[in-house]
Every structure is written in C-alpha cells, then in structure tokens.
C-alpha cells in the first residue's frame, strides 16, 4: 500500500473536478480486496471475523498513519517567523523553601507568534459494496466524511488535505459527487452549547451525557478525572455540546476565561479569552483557528491542573488591576 504523501492534486482528480456537474464533492475510492488484503487495513479496524467482513463505524484514522492523519487528530502549529517576536510568560511549579508545597514561578521568553491549525477530526467511512459468493473478494468503498464545495476559496487546500488522509490510510484516492448537500454537512459541524449549573461531578456528567450517544466507560473515566480538576477551581458554569455527539465540554470561570476539553482527542485543554457570547456563535472548526493570542493551550501532561490554576490566578489579578 503506497503511503507517500501527495504534494499536489493528482491529474485524474483534477479531471474529475472538471467533469462533475455538481459543486459538492467528497474524497473517496473503491477497491477490490482479497481476504489477504484485509489484513493491511487492520489499523482502520476492518477485519474478518468468523468468515464475515466486519465494517467499523466511521472514525478519524489513527494519528500514527501519517502527517495528515496526525494533524487531523491533534492539529498543528505554524511558526510565524515573518512576524516580530513577542514576550510570552510561562508558569512553572517550584518547591517552597520549607519543602511543604509549591508556588508559581513565571518565566518570560521572547518567542515567535504561532498560528494553530485546529484538528479537523474528519472521519473515514468504510462501506461494503459487494463480494464474491465464496467470500474470496470484497468490493469496498473508503470515503472521507466531509463535503467540499469547489466554489469555496480554500477548496483546493481542503481537498489536498483529505486526499492525503485517504492516501495515508488506503493508498488510493479519487473524487465523487456528493449525495449530501453542503448545508447538511455544515449543520453537523456546528457547535450549539448548553450551559449547565455547577454541581458535583456525578451530576454534571449525568447532565452532559443525557441525550447523547453512549460514551465508553474509558472515556467516562477521563471525563470524570478532568471535571474533578475543574471542580476544585469552582467554575461559574459547566459547558457541553448539545449535538448528538458529545465532543467538547468544559467550564466557564469568567466571561473571558472559558476552558474547553475534547472528549475524543483530549490531549490538551484550551483556555479561551474571548467573551462567551462571541465564542458561542463559532463553529467547531473556527473555534481554534488562527493566531494563538485568543487562547492558551495546556497539554495534559503531569501538572496540567496546577498550570491551569496558575493561569486563572494570573487572569484574575490582571482583571483586578484594571
């Protein structure tokens, strides 16, 4: 399976763009696979069990598949060496002189501005189109679950990104007209927020999960751990996405200090510094797009809770000082 990334849109894909009579398109391909070939797609959870082909639910491909698959899950950063450097403060925990605790130590450094590319989190869907009667071969469709509109200004950038995700995971690419409208897709990426009152962690989790698709016990454990840390800092409100899939949840500490977690890819916490009314109108993909001066990103490494607490204390001191 060829996994070499595509530097430009292949000619056969450009030809399909020209020949299709619709604007809404999806990246997909169809392959005929033998039983032996199926083993090459174990990373996508495509497998044969008791002689039957098992099709996994749509999901983002693993980050380990390649550069684009990693960006799709974790996001990326672009260092802006074309802009002047600025002073950025970092917090560290240092032991107290008496050895019984720690205190905040802030360090200033000159750094370049960085633009954060948010994770797109597009899913890869697999569909069985047909198979030989003896089960020796299968016709399978692999597709990226994002509708692209060729009239959009960033169409070619987004197209190349999705082509590379399919290339990294399947080793083949093509383009098809979409049966879904762009409006239907956009509706699925909107984040409508529900404001929940403060309460104990068990009650907050119950409210957040109510009406959502089932969340695995493993993810509920992570969710409980994260919310327990947030609860200690006494948030004004908790926040949860209201769509069927619970992806984002978090807490509001001040109007311009709002914390978001991602349940699916919780490798970092995000502190937003815009007012809540502005944030609530943003789509999922716009939430983290652009310069880093609108938010802080705290990776979930050891001590992340202490770092969040330090940022909150610093924010409140600045607010008190006017």
Helix, strand, coil fractions of the chain, as percent rounded to 5:
35, 30, 35
> What is the number of alpha carbons within 13 Å of residue 141 lying toward its C-beta?
14
Q: Give domain limits for the chain.
A: 11-75+118-187, 190-320
pLDDT, tens only, 137-166: 898 899 999 889 999 999 999 999 999 999
- How far, in Å, are 3, 42, 45, 68, 251 from residue 48 at the CA level? 23, 10, 10, 27, 43
Q: Predicted confidence band at 284 (pLDDT cuts at 50, 70, 90)?
A: low
| pLDDT at position 185 over 50 | no
pLDDT, tens only, 244-264: 556 678 899 998 898 988 776
Q: What is the pLDDT of residue 2?
A: 45
Distance CA 312, CA 296 (A): 11
Q: Predicted confidence band at 186 (pLDDT cuts at 50, 70, 90)?
A: very low
203 touches 231 (CB < 8 A): no
DSSP output for 82-131: TS--EEEEEEEEEE-TTSS-EEEEEEEEEE-EEEEE------EEEEEEEE
Q: What is the pLDDT of residue 283?
A: 57
Q: What is the pLDDT of residue 272?
A: 84
Phi, psi of 282 (to 5 degrees): -85, 145
Q: Which has more confidence, 254 or 116?
A: 254
Cα 44 to the center of its chain, rounded Å: 18
Among 47, 79, 45, 74, residue whose Cα is nearest residue 59: 45
Tokens for 301, please give them: 């490494």
Look at the block and give the residue holding tokens 């802080």: 296
239 touches 251 (CB < 8 A): yes
Among 60, 58, 79, 80, residue whose Cα is nearest residue 70: 60
Q: Which has more confidence, 211 or 123?
A: 123
Counting other chains too, the contacts that 302-305 makes at CB distance below 8 Å and 24 or more residues apart are 303/93, 304/229, 304/269, 305/229, 305/232
- How far, in Å, are 106, 144, 246, 272 from residue 92 at the CA level? 6, 41, 32, 21
172 touches 143 (CB < 8 A): no
> In this predicted structure, which of 27-31, 254-258, 285-289 has the lowest mean pLDDT?
285-289
């Amino acid at each position: 399976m060829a996994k070499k990334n595509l530097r430009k849109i292949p000619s056969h894909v450009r030809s399909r763009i020209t020949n299709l009579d619709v604007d809404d398109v999806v990246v997909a391909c169809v392959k005929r696979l033998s039983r032996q070939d199926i083993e090459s797609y174990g990373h996508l959870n495509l497998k044969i069990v008791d002689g039957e082909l098992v099709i996994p639910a749509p999901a983002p491909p693993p980050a380990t598949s390649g550069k684009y698959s990693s960006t799709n899950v974790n996001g990326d950063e672009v260092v802006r060496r074309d802009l002047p450097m600025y002073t950025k403060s970092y917090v560290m925990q240092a032991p107290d002189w008496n050895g019984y605790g720690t205190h905040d130590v802030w360090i200033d450094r000159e750094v370049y501005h960085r633009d954060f590319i948010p994770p797109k989190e597009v899913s890869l869907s697999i569909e069985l189109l047909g198979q030989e009667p003896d089960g020796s071969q299968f016709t399978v469709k692999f597709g990226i679950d994002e509708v692209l509109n060729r009239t959009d200004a960033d169409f070619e950038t987004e197209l190349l990104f999705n082509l590379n995700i399919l290339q990294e995971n399947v080793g083949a690419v093509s383009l098809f007209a979409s049966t879904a409208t762009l409006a239907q897709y956009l509706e699925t990426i909107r984040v409508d927020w529900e404001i929940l009152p403060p309460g104990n962690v068990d009650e907050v989790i119950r409210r957040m999960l109510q009406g959502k698709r089932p969340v695995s016990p493993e993810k509920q454990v992570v969710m409980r751990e994260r919310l327990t840390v947030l609860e200690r800092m006494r948030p004004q409100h908790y926040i949860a996405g209201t769509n069927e899939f619970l992806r984002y949840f978090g807490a509001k500490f001040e109007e311009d200090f709002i914390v978001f977690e991602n349940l699916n890819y919780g490798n970092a916490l995000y502190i937003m510094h815009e007012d809540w009314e502005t944030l609530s109108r943003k789509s999922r993909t716009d939430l983290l797009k652009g310069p880093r001066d609108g938010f802080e990103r705290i990776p979930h490494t050891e001590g992340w809770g202490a770092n969040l607490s330090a940022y909150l204390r610093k924010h409140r001191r600045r607010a008190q000082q006017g």
